[in-house]
Amino acid sequence: MLVGLGATFLLAKGEVTAPAHWAMFHNWLQPAVQTNYNLIGADQHECWDGFNPGHLQDSPERNFDYLVVKARLGKWKNSRLYNEWIGNRNYRTYKKEGFVRLPSFLPGVPEELQENMCVAGTYHHKCNPVSGACTSEPTWCTTKKFPAPRITLRICPNVSDMNCVRGQARDTFWTDPIVQLVGTSMDQIMRRSGGNASGNPDFNDLFLLHGRVVDPRVNEPSCPSGFAYPQQPL
């Protein structure tokens, strides 16, 4: 609430005195944006290149520069909520049904005796997108009496297990109520940011401008400068 009020006061300042300087927006809003960014990251971000973005006018050239040169994807995978909660769990990739050997089965037991050591079973294959670990299949019965196990459900046809669970984790992440709440907060703060070094009241309330024209910026180690502007935490 205080962050929202502060942004409103900074925007109104230009109607009373001179427009707020970029540093005013950065100092007031940056801690909140950084906290949200640490929690959920962003769908994409733009690295700060060392020049005040407030000096740059939006143009086709700048759009190309952003979309092709500076845009970076996937920072949400580094966020705390993804790595500690949503992504760090098992997601199912397929279901297989057949006859499973009981744990008491011993190698070398005659085939006619194996039939008494097999029970009908359902196996759910699962993988963890963060750890990369998948569950191991059980030992299926292979005697003449029992058919080979068959897959009765495949979550992602023609897709590898890890790509399948990564896609499920991504969908779960972006539809999660907490992620939606935090993302909306970050989005609204970035839209209300403004000011630049020349004192012009540039604002971010458009998709192509959102978090690109003015501060606050966040700490982002993947950028050469160490700073970035979050994009599309919607």
- 179 & 163 share domain: no
- Structural domain including 123 reads 90-170
Please tell me whether residues 131 and 20 are part of one structural domain: no
Tell me the Cα Rg of the chain.
26
Q: Are residues 142 and 184 in the same domain?
A: no
Share of the chain above pLDDT 90, in %: 29
Structural domain ending residue among the three candidates 122, 140, 170: 170
234: pLDDT strictly greater than 80: no
Q: Of the residues 170, 196, 213, which one is the last residue of a structural domain?
A: 170
Last residue of a domain, one of 153, 170, 187: 170
Burial of 107 (0-12, 13-18, 19+ CB in 10 A): exposed
DSSP three-state, residue 118: strand
Q: Within 13 Å of residue 207, how many CA atoms lie on the same side as its CB?
A: 5
Higher pLDDT among residues 102 and 224, named by residue: 224
Looking at residue 90, its pLDDT comes to: 97
User: How many structural domains comprise the chain?
Assistant: 2
pLDDT for residue 186 is more than 50: yes
Is 12 or 222 the better-scoring residue by pLDDT? 222
> Span 6-11, mean pLDDT?
62
207 or 40: which leads in pLDDT:
40
192, 226: one domain? yes
Cα 213 to Cα 204: distance, rounded to the nearest angstrom: 7
Q: Give the separation between CA 103 and CA 137, rounded to whole angstroms.
A: 13
14 and 76 co-located in one domain: yes
Angle between helices 22-40 and 2-16 in degrees, nearest 10: 160
pLDDT tens profile 142-163 = 777 888 999 999 999 999 999 9
Quick check: 233 pLDDT over 80?
no
The reported pLDDT for the residue numbered 59 is: 56
pLDDT band at 55; cut points 50, 70, 90? very low
